[in-house]
Amino acid sequence: MSNSYEVIILARMGEIALKGLNRGKFEGRLISNVQYRLRPFGEFRVFQSQSRFWIEPKNPEKKNFLEDPVWADEVLQAVVQVFGLVSASLVWRFSGGMDEICEMAVRFSKDLVASDGAASFKIESKRGNKNFPLQSPEISALVGGAVLEAIPALRVDVTKPDFVLYVEIRDEIYIYSKKVMGHRGLPVGSAGKGMLLLSGGIDSPVAGYMMASRGMVIEAVYFHAYPYTSDQAKEKVVELARIIGRFSGRLRLHVVNFTPAQLDMYKNSPQDMLTITMRRVMFLVAERLAEKTGCKALITGESLGQVASQTLEAIYVTNSVVKMPVFRPLIGMDKEETTILSRKIGAFETSILPFEDCCTVFVAKHPKTHPLPSHAVMAEENLNIDEMVEAALLDIEVIDV
């Protein structure tokens, strides 16, 4: 007996399954995002069936190219970076009855033993097709018996097996073993667009990742103060934008020449209010830029009480200068929690590179930690804020990453 099979990808969606009448829109967006993410690998058919997404190569000549483990791993990693998916697996798809299921399970298990040196296993079966004559426990028993008979070195371990062999019987039959976990969330593009104030630190890239995970399309603005900050600092931020883009998809970075504004503030604003004044001007520039690009909110990496400019009073005074909502997804997190997320998304090593951004170069030695709105008004008396914002908006480099 010999049975043919195809290697495809099974992806599992998360909270989209809980959506009501709008669920179809979320599913459509997720399919589009997966297809976009897989464009470097070729054309794929992505379709939804029974709360699962199935991904298969379109080109008949490449139906089994996913059997190449290196190539398959790259494709699978690209899939699980798409927000909205809980996990994904490489699966064998074939047709037949119990004889074919047992044969393919044995072949699959032999491959695992040869590649991973597995010594124990268990079977988990799911009968989605209720017309199949056997129930799940019976399927598992028959498949397990066939594997044990064919591979005597294996033993059954239902608590801590070296591998679990999953058998799903639907319109066709699917077997697989490994689940690669995804990042959950909602599909990017299902929740509007936001403008991320991106610096070279640990926090703001994580904030961008978190808002993208809630379905938000991300654009970013970086305030560059050359020559007080180097081109290396700028390249560091560009790389952080690329890292966010692995999850959010296409990302446009706006690099603002902030040197004239910072020098003006440094000379004509009280030192203890310099950080607050600078952030207020940044917010104004970011809001204007957001309006031009269709963004409906600003995003920052602020965490309450983490630094002097992030006390409740400082946040209130900074926030009061703009009308647009400001999302702060890290507001209740400590630095360790943020660092863990930074490592998870692969941004940490870039974020800690020793290239200072404009915020750190022009920081006040003794900043006011509990400013009042009246303090901000007085600090800006000798500044032409409108002119400063307009000049900054006219000196922007746009980078698509």
Q: Where are the alpha helices (DSSP H) in 21-68?
A: 23-37
More confident residue, 67 or 16: 16
Which residue has tokens 């697989």? 176
Q: Write down the pTM of the prediction.
A: 0.90
Structural domains of the chain, ranges and CATH numbers in brackets: 6-181 (3.30.2130.30), 193-400 (3.40.50.620)
Structure-derived torsion over alpha carbons of residues 333, 338, 340, 345, reported in degrees to the nearest 10: 130
Tokens at 373, concatenated = 């709105």
Is the dihedral angle over the CA atoms 141, 144, 150, 155 positive or is it negative? negative
3-state helix, strand, coil in the chain (%, to 5): 45, 20, 35
What residues does 397 pair with on adjacent strands?
A: 255
Q: Does the N-terminal peptide bond of residue 205 adopt cis geometry, omega within 30 degrees of 0?
A: no
Chain-centre distance of CA 171, in angstroms?
32
Closest CA to 357 of 250, 296, 298, 278: 278
pLDDT digit string, tens, across residues 284-306? 999 999 999 999 999 999 999 99
Residue 390 one-letter amino acid: E
Chain-centre distance of CA 90, in angstroms?
21
Tell me how crowded residue 328 is: count the other CB atoms within 10 A of its CB: 20
CA–CA gap between residue 53 and residue 199 (Å, rounded): 36
pLDDT digit string, tens, across residues 146-202? 999 999 999 999 999 999 999 999 989 999 999 999 999 999 999 999 999 999 999
- pLDDT, residue 1, reads 40
Contact call for residues 82 and 184 (beta carbons, < 8 A): no
CA–CA gap between residue 223 and residue 267 (Å, rounded): 18
Interstrand relation of 180-181 and 85-94 (parallel, antiparallel or unpaired): antiparallel
Rg (CA), the chain: 27
Instruction: State the distance between the two ends of the chain, measured CA to CA, in whole angstroms.
Output: 51
Residue 176 one-letter amino acid: Y
Q: What is the percentage of the chain residues whose pLDDT exceeds 70?
A: 96
pLDDT digit string, tens, across residues 141-158? 999 999 999 999 999 999
SS3 367: coil
CA angle 81, 86, 90 (to 5 degrees): 75
SS3 215: coil
Chain-centre distance of CA 313, in angstroms?
32
CA–CA gap between residue 16 and residue 48 (Å, rounded): 12
Q: Is the pLDDT of residue 204 over 60?
A: yes
Host H or E run for residue 89: strand 85-94
Q: Is the pLDDT of residue 361 over 90?
A: no
Residue 333: pLDDT band (50, 70, 90) is very high
pLDDT digit string, tens, across residues 18-64? 888 889 999 999 999 999 999 998 889 999 887 789 999 887 565 56
Q: Sort 131 into a burial class: Cβ within 10 Å, 0-12 / 13-18 / 19+.
A: exposed
Host H or E run for residue 310: none
